[in-house]
Amino acid sequence: MYTIREVSKLMKVNQLTDKKSELLRWINEEKIQCEATDEGTFRIPKNEVQRLFEAKWKPVVFQQIKQYEMTIQTMLSQLNDPYAGALTKIESLHGLIRWGFAALASYQFRMEHDVVSAKQLYYFALQVSEVYEKYVRQALTQYPYIAYLPASLKDKVLWALFSQRFDLAYHMAEHYEPNGFMESNKIDLLIKYLLLKKDREATELLKQLAQEDTEINVEIIDAILSHDQKRVNELLYIEADAKYKYYTQEMIHLPYQILCDDLLLYGWIAQCRGIPVTLKHPIMAEECFKKHRLVYPDLSFLPDEFKVLISNAM
């Protein structure tokens, strides 16, 4: 049984405990099943909280999907505009990477749980990132002041592995050279070492990162380097459980699954190194770590000047 304050926090509605409170209004209108206490307050059973949450999240996720679809259409319209300059096109390509296909995949997966569709959208993100980087390098000769914000190797490897373009993941890892000593560059370098099975270099770099406040999960990577299948899967489950509790606030069952980038990245790197992943958790289906028969969609939505920049389409 949950209090009005607990449920309102989860539902992100008005937390004021008066007649104007949204939850109390629903209670007064008998739209919510609850029990009155001797103190004059209400308690809402768990199954009712679950029902309310499911009724609330669907339109929210649907709206997010529509927003990302509109963003993608806007960016594509700018790319196809014959009067758009190089800077506008660069911003549009960057928008497709940052707010486009990968983000859309995440929200569509919450609604439909379609792994194949998510993989195809990640494939789009991967291809557009290549177009963006090549186009910017061309434009830099004319506009040397352009702000260049390429996707990290970590992101690109994730997109490649999840979309089953393992050849591209290895190719990018082989040709990656860090630019500076920022934490993000160290993480990208670690991803390179893990994929290419340069375990000595990976172990040394992992020791450095373990001393820093880093975003990577040192324990999982250490288990991958040790080729400990049982420990890898146990740690992936612990990581999934932590994310699940974060999203649910330890109150109810999450009514949808999530594409967790870190879990996908660690899991697929482990499998590329011969470690089977058998993660079964409510937050993300085991199917996310299986290979599928994929039909890679073409990139007909891109103008011809960008299509010629793609060297790895299928």
182-229 confidence digits (pLDDT tens)? 667 899 999 999 999 999 999 999 999 998 877 889 999 999 999 999
Edge to edge, the sheet with strand 35-36 lists 2-3, 42-44, 35-36
pLDDT digits (tens, 9 = 90+) for 17-40: 444 467 777 777 777 788 888 777
Q: Rounded to two decimals, what is the model's pTM?
A: 0.83
Model pLDDT, residue 255? 63
Residues 8, 251: contact at Cβ < 8 Å? no
For the cut 50, the answer to whether the pLDDT of residue 15 exceeds it is no
- Where helices occur in the chain by DSSP H, the ranges are 4-11, 22-28, 46-79, 86-98, 101-112, 115-139, 153-162, 166-175, 183-195, 199-210, 218-225, 229-248, 261-272, 304-307
198 forms bridges with which residues in the sheet? none
User: Please, which contacts does 35-41 make with residues 24 or more away whose CB atoms are closer than 8 Å?
Assistant: 35/1, 41/3, 41/4, 41/17
